[in-house]
Amino acid sequence: MGKHSKSKPDNSDEQNPKLNKNFERKPNSSIIWLICSIGIFVVLLSLISVVFPGLLISIVDQNLFAEPFEIGAMGIPLLIVNIIVFTLIVLGLKQKLPNTFTKFIEKILSFDLSKKNSFILLIVILGIYVATSANELSIYELNQYGDFLVLEKAVKIWPEQEAENKYLAEQLDRHVRMALLVASEEIFNNIKVIPYLASIFLLITTYFLTVKLSNKNFTGLIAVVLVLQSSTFYIYDTIAVYENFWVLFYVFSIYLIFKKPKFSSIFFILAIFSKAIIVLWLPISILVTLLSDIPKNKKIFVITTNIIVIIISLIIFQYSDAVYGNVVSVDVSEFWIGLSTLASNLRFDVVLLLFLLPVSVGLFLKARNGCGNSVSLIVLISGTILVTPVLEMITDYYFVYPYRYVPLIVFFAIGLSTLFSKK
């Protein structure tokens, strides 16, 4: 395998100048500016509620908790950190930073690990994670979340779909998720085991996607550590009722766009039947595909198959009398309420809140210098942020819990990590 890796590396385009000439992406600067501007604007809007928790809610006259311009607990730290970071960015662009500091940054950007050493460290990190979290599998989930009572009933009667309780019916409609949960119960006599394995595989997928986008092994480890430091991820990593199946399948579908495009839609449909709101991620997947450096015919294939997946899913939901067709209730004012939930739901994810804007701007600067993958990451970050307010706007059926932001945590971690690469 070692000999083959030297003669035929994964990045075959580098070995074939003709192929690289045909398929190398040359982003249009105006498109980059447009996409990045919209993405950064979305990030700015979402962070307003960190500084002023009551401001966005006051737009719809439903501010019950605070005055519009009352500063939140994280408001001052966010402003201070962002002022410092952007000052450093401006000084760096003007080449006015001390030489010692510049050389230190250069060393960090140039540092990398071999694939072998990176794998070893990844195994060590995952081993530490398992050692510190596996004990949670023994906790009866009803003692953690009352919603588990509904799931417990669903597991007993699935694949039967008929249920008078709409919340129970909604659980039964998520066939891939239910199949995995039932398998966990029957194989391990513990419904938490396979959800826990899904969280572990999500970390592994995060590693490989980061390495793929940055062409640097060390950044993959940074991304995994950043996800692991997330309070939100750690809270829900072993929880069955709020599992990470849908996140794993969707993130893996994004990875496959760059690695094996023809298989991407398979995991996209698995994500949908784990959690139906993944349908709202279709525009994000299409944009990422269009921005990717894969050949045009593969782009067409991925986009076409993803659209077909959506159509098939909607047909199945329609003819199986799924609950989703009865929960649509459009209220534009709810958009602003949904946008404000990021600040409250991720209040313990300090790193994300403090550095979300600097990371977005950093990705824009890299995109401006020709790194097309940075544009894709801005789309993934800002698009994921937008999904929640859109969901709030089109239905009053779902509540916005922190676990819905796990995809954002993953994409933020990947985005921040790729900034540690020159490539």
Query: Nearest-CA neighbor of 169 among 1, 276, 53, 322?
Result: 322
pLDDT exceeding 90 applies to what percent of the chain?
A: 64
pLDDT in tens, 230-265: 999 999 999 999 999 999 999 999 999 999 999 999
Q: How far apart are CA 147 and CA 168, in angstroms?
A: 10
Average pLDDT for the chain? 88
pLDDT at 43: 97
With contact defined as beta carbons under 8 Å apart, do 120 and 220 qualify? no
Q: Please check the confidence at residue 421 and state whether its pLDDT lies above 70.
A: yes
Residues 6+ apart with CB under 8 A from 260: none
Q: How far apart are CA 251 and CA 264, in angstroms?
A: 10
Task: Give the pLDDT mean for 372-396.
Answer: 91
What is the C-alpha R_g of the chain? 22
pLDDT at 323: 55
Q: Please check the confidence at residue 288 and state whether its pLDDT lies above 60.
A: yes
Question: 328 - beta bridge partners?
Answer: 395
**27 band by pLDDT with thresholds 50, 70 and 90:** low
pLDDT at 325: 57
What are the distances in angstroms from CA 12 to CA 16, 28, 190? Answer: 7, 24, 44
Q: Which of 91-95, 171-175, 253-257, 339-343 has the lowest mean pLDDT?
A: 171-175
Question: 395 - beta bridge partners?
Answer: 328
DSSP state of 137: G
What does pTM read for this prediction?
A: 0.89
Task: Give the pLDDT mean for 214-242.
Answer: 96
* DSSP class per residue in 376-414: HHHHHHHHHHHHHHHHHHHBSS----GGGGHHHHHHHHH
pLDDT at 330: 79
Residues 6+ apart with CB under 8 A from 418: 210, 213, 214, 219, 363, 366, 373, 374, 377
pLDDT in tens, 38-90: 999 999 999 999 999 888 888 776 555 567 888 989 999 999 999 999 999 99
Question: 137 - beta bridge partners?
Answer: none
- The neighbour count for residue 157, using CB atoms within 10 Å, is 14
Please report, as a single letter, which amino acid is at residue 108: I
Count Cβ atoms within 10 A of the Cβ of residue 421 and give its class: 0-12 exposed, 13-18 middle, 19 or more buried: buried
- Residue 328's SS3 state is strand
**397 band by pLDDT with thresholds 50, 70 and 90:** low
**14 band by pLDDT with thresholds 50, 70 and 90:** very low
With contact defined as beta carbons under 8 Å apart, do 273 and 175 qualify? yes
With contact defined as beta carbons under 8 Å apart, do 214 and 111 qualify? no
Q: Cis peptide leading into 159, omega within 30 of 0?
A: yes
pLDDT at 402: 92
Exposure pattern of 303-335 as b/e (b: 16+ CB <10 Å)?
bebbeebbeebbeebeeeebbbeeeeeeeeebb
Q: How far apart are CA 150 and CA 141, in angstroms?
A: 12
With contact defined as beta carbons under 8 Å apart, do 247 and 202 qualify? yes
With contact defined as beta carbons under 8 Å apart, do 154 and 137 qualify? no
With contact defined as beta carbons under 8 Å apart, do 208 and 257 qualify? no
With contact defined as beta carbons under 8 Å apart, do 163 and 170 qualify? no
Looking at beta carbons, which pairs linking 75-83 to residues 24 or more positions away fall under 8 Å? Answer: 75/50, 75/51, 77/350, 77/354, 78/47, 78/50, 78/51, 78/353, 78/354, 79/51, 81/354, 81/355, 81/358, 82/354, 82/357, 82/358
